[in-house]
Structure 1
Amino acid sequence: MTHPLKHSGLAPAPGLEGLVVAQTALSEVDGQKGELILRGRRIEELAGTMPFEHAVGHLWTDLVPISQGDLQTTFAKARMLAMAAVPAMSEAPRELDIYERMRLGICALPVDLELTSAERICGAIPVILAAAARLENGEQPVAPDPHLATAEDLLRMLSGTRPEASAVAALDRYLVTILDHGLNASTFTARVIASTGADMKDAITGAMGALKGPLHGGAPGPVLDMIDAIGTPERAADWIANELREGRRLMGFGHRVYRTRDPRADVLKAGLALLPQDNPKLRSAEAIERAALNALAIAKPDRRLDTNVEFYTAVLLNAIGIDRQLFTPLFATGRAPGWCAHVIEQQKTGRLIRPSSEYIGPMPG
């Protein structure tokens, strides 16, 4: 649509950068200060100090009335209900990958009028993720245990065995860290879909589609590829210098919003100290990070590129035994409550999101 933009005097904003298109009470991302605030509390106050369910309850304040009065109980019920979606996932074509099978599972979730759609979807995703991963490996899905909290049960359903307490704490820390992060691509997608009057499932599966792209949720896996390629910390400086000379991007460094260090990186890095220190990637991560930051400061002195959440996401999840092909599905698990909260906020406005475009094609003669 050309005329409203032309007549308003607004210049195009590629990528919508700098444009405010929504008001939210959920999260504030301050790229200059390197600060992330969720509902009035810094991410450092939440991640590592409380389980996933408590952080979700904080984010959902005044938005989602918790049906059972306790999110651990509510999510446990949703996990049990989610087993009804597993047959559809099992019968899907073999060529579907884990992420595609997860979206199918969400679409197949049964309705339960005692739970809100946000509770049903967010509580169910751990079952759907674990089932999709096991089906991919030719294994039978493991049924949930309603007596466990989300992080512990997710790890148990993935491996088939009870996880170590340190791994549970690390996963809780990760899931809380990625709960919400402003109007990123997947969250904006969810809000656009919600603005059309579509339902929560439509919005969440659409957000998952946006997250799948390598410029959004697909980056932590390549961080491990980089660490594998470097090998020992002694090779880091030369390897990184060569990558920069060839004009290639260092995965896990730089961010579209942050002009300083991503606060989530420090939250996850702190969690590494609480894990067993026998993982070689864990031991070499800090040395690689130092080499990368030194090289980037020299190569790009006019632009600060610091560590982002993807770097220590990769190291932390690898240290607790999460396969790299599960990084994006796990990201969706932690971000889903944020998506749902944004959907509810958007639905309250009742307004269709409909930006304009500037026509630059030929005109009729």
Structure 2
Amino acid sequence: MKDQAASGESPEVAAGQRLSTREAAERLGVKPETLYAYVSRGQLSSRRAPGGRGSTFDAAEIDALARRTNRRTTSPATGDPAFRTGITLIENDRYYFRGVDATELARHYSYEEVADWLWTGELRPGVRFAASAEARAAARRAVEALPAHSGSTDRLRVAVVAAATTDPLRFDLSRDSVLAAARGLVPTLVEALPVVPGGPQGAGAAGEPRAGTSTPGLARRIWPKLTARPADEPAVAALDTALVLLIDHDLAASTLAARVAASAHAHPYAVVSAGLGVLEGPLHGAASGLAHRMLTEVLDRGSAAPVVADHLRTGRRVPGLGHRLYAVEDPRARALFALLDRVPQAAAALAAARDVVATTARHAPLHANVDLALAVLSVSCGMSAEAGETVFAVSRTAGWVAHALEEYGERPLRIRPSGQYNGPRPPQPLPAAADGAPR
């Protein structure tokens, strides 16, 4: 545990809470007429509102009906489909895990403490995840067989598949079985990654516990897989905070893929594999690598102005800026920047990042996002450009598992959108061979 945290409760429906007709209809994603049809069929009860104007509905009853009917609502902000989830709320330029400010959680608790709490609702101070010897060995053998030029996400995907083969209980989707798999998978991913050459040698250098010592936290275990520099407390604290901040961010692309897999009752290893497959895109988990390279160039050239100009001249967007869900600075970036301010070796990269923001802000109201903050961490700690992607992938594994646990409780295969066909209308003739020869 980092510090003593302020208490927070998960968002539950208050006993006896009443909703107006509009609120109940929005929660179900239906029109008021449909709402009253549920009442007439006996599926809902209603009560006259005080003063006799309209009706009120029991919130718990509305939520139970939503679960039974698997109503898919629409986001009022974008019109996009929205699926009910109790994991992450993004609202008013802040974000919350189960109703608790996620940046506060990151300030007070470690990655493993927050991940375990997110899965179970129970905080266990000092909790550590452990990989089984069999899973660790299989994952390492699989990773070592890859070509030397393989990226970290390649290695993580292979490690997940290898770990899955060692778990005969992976098809058991009971809560306890999924939790056991998750607590073993996260450290397996970390321990399957190779140590950066040139780092400290000897027992414990790979981030694993020395004989007779307690297991270090995940941030300290992943540190030598990211950089050859010796670990120092301020930098490791910043890394641990980054891991917590990135655990979940509502239904991001990779999380939606993970939920689709879970909806098909894929086992948790397959759910994580689905998430990793999407995360590797340059517009998602790999975005911090672009920001890393940009900051390195800013440091080399001594100013952000020519670097930003080059990006714009070639039609590239400036990486690490802007987020569709926040009108101001990404709260994850703000929290991470605050910690990096305490890391002496981060001063130059922080100044470069602020120079980028100030230069771009002359003409566009863009703010730093978490990719820029991850880039400051990776540049200042001597990590590679793909280090941010590695941190993102390992961290988000806990979020994918949380969503899988939630989705396993829903109707199977409920996430089945319908395509809007715009091809030729039938009937069409059979296609002819390109050479015109009879078949």
TM-score in terms of structure 1 length: 0.81
The answer to whether residue 147 in structure 2 is matched with residue 88 in structure 1 is: no
Instruction: Give the conservation status (yes or no) of the 8 Å contact 1:171–1:317.
Output: no
Instruction: Summarize the Cα distance change of 1:104–1:276 in structure 2 as closer, same or farther, 3 Å threshold.
Output: same
The answer to whether residue 401 in structure 2 is matched with residue 346 in structure 1 is: no
The answer to whether residue 239 in structure 2 is matched with residue 171 in structure 1 is: yes
The one-letter amino acid paired with 2:218 is T
Q: Hey, what does 1:302 align to over in structure 2?
A: none
Q: Hey, what does 2:104 align to over in structure 1?
A: 45
**Which stretches of structure 1, 4 residues or more, deviate above 4 A after TM superposition?**
77-81, 112-115, 157-162
The one-letter amino acid paired with 1:22 is F
Greater C-alpha radius of gyration: 2
Query: What whole-Å deviation, never above 9, does each CA across 1:138-157 have from its counterpart, x for those lacking one?
Result: x9994721521111122145
Q: Hey, what does 1:72 align to over in structure 2?
A: 127
Instruction: Give the conservation status (yes or no) of the 8 Å contact 1:265–1:309.
Output: yes
**Distance apart, 1:172 and its partner CA:** 0.6
Q: Hey, what does 2:372 align to over in structure 1?
A: 311
Match of 1:364 among 399, 407, 426: 426
Q: Give the fraction of aligned pairs with identical amino acids, expressed as a percent.
A: 31
Q: Which runs of 5+ in 1 are unaligned?
A: 1-12, 298-304
Instruction: Give the conservation status (yes or no) of the 8 Å contact 2:333–2:369.
Output: yes
Instruction: Give the conservation status (yes or no) of the 8 Å contact 1:264–1:309.
Output: yes
The answer to whether residue 393 in structure 2 is matched with residue 332 in structure 1 is: yes
The answer to whether residue 118 in structure 2 is matched with residue 59 in structure 1 is: yes
Instruction: Give the conservation status (yes or no) of the 8 Å contact 1:76–1:150.
Output: no
Q: Counterpart of 2:303 in 1: which secondary structure?
A: helix
Match of 2:154 among 100, 116, 133: 100
The one-letter amino acid paired with 2:281 is G
Which structure 2 residues correspond to residues 147-296 of structure 1 after superposition, within 5 A? 147-156=215-224, 158=226, 163-231=231-299, 235-241=303-309, 243-244=311-312, 246-277=314-345, 280-296=348-364
Q: Hey, what does 2:79 align to over in structure 1?
A: 18
- CA separation in 1, counterparts of 2:353 and 2:313? 22
Query: What whole-Å deviation, never above 9, does each CA across 1:235-280 have from its counterpart, x for those lacking one?
Result: 3235434543554211011223223321111011101111014653
Query: What whole-Å deviation, never above 9, does each CA across 1:167-204 have from its counterpart, x for those lacking one?
Result: 21011110011111000000000000111111111110
The answer to whether residue 174 in structure 2 is matched with residue 120 in structure 1 is: no
- CA separation in 1, counterparts of 2:405 and 2:321? 33
- CA separation in 2, counterparts of 1:58 and 1:296? 39
Instruction: Summarize the Cα distance change of 1:142–1:45 in structure 2 as closer, same or farther, 3 Å threshold.
Output: closer
The one-letter amino acid paired with 2:127 is Q
Instruction: Give the conservation status (yes or no) of the 8 Å contact 2:257–2:278.
Output: yes
The one-letter amino acid paired with 1:181 is H
Instruction: Give the conservation status (yes or no) of the 8 Å contact 1:80–1:144.
Output: no
Question: More displaced, 49-58 or 79-88?
Answer: 79-88
**Distance apart, 1:216 and its partner CA:** 0.8
Q: Hey, what does 2:167 align to over in structure 1?
A: 111
**Distance apart, 1:316 and its partner CA:** 1.6
Q: Counterpart of 2:332 in 1: which secondary structure?
A: helix
State the superposition RMSD in angstroms: 3.1
Instruction: Give the conservation status (yes or no) of the 8 Å contact 1:79–1:126.
Output: no
The one-letter amino acid paired with 1:236 is A
**Distance apart, 1:117 and its partner CA:** 1.6
Instruction: Summarize the Cα distance change of 1:348–1:160 in structure 2 as closer, same or farther, 3 Å threshold.
Output: same
Query: What whole-Å deviation, never above 9, does each CA across 1:116-155 have from its counterpart, x for those lacking one?
Result: 1221222322112x33x659x9x99947215211111221
Instruction: Summarize the Cα distance change of 1:158–1:309 in structure 2 as closer, same or farther, 3 Å threshold.
Output: closer
Query: What whole-Å deviation, never above 9, does each CA across 1:70-105 have from its counterpart, x for those lacking one?
Result: 6733x1355885244212222344464332122111
- CA separation in 1, counterparts of 2:186 and 2:84? 23
TM-score in terms of structure 2 length: 0.68
Instruction: Summarize the Cα distance change of 1:167–1:200 in structure 2 as closer, same or farther, 3 Å threshold.
Output: same
The one-letter amino acid paired with 1:296 is A
The one-letter amino acid paired with 1:348 is G
- CA separation in 1, counterparts of 2:310 and 2:331? 28
Q: Counterpart of 1:216 in 2: which secondary structure?
A: coil
Residue-pair matches, total: 333
Instruction: Summarize the Cα distance change of 1:296–1:242 in structure 2 as closer, same or farther, 3 Å threshold.
Output: farther
**Distance apart, 1:108 and its partner CA:** 1.2
RCO higher in 1 or 2 (8 Å CA, sep ≥ 6)?
1
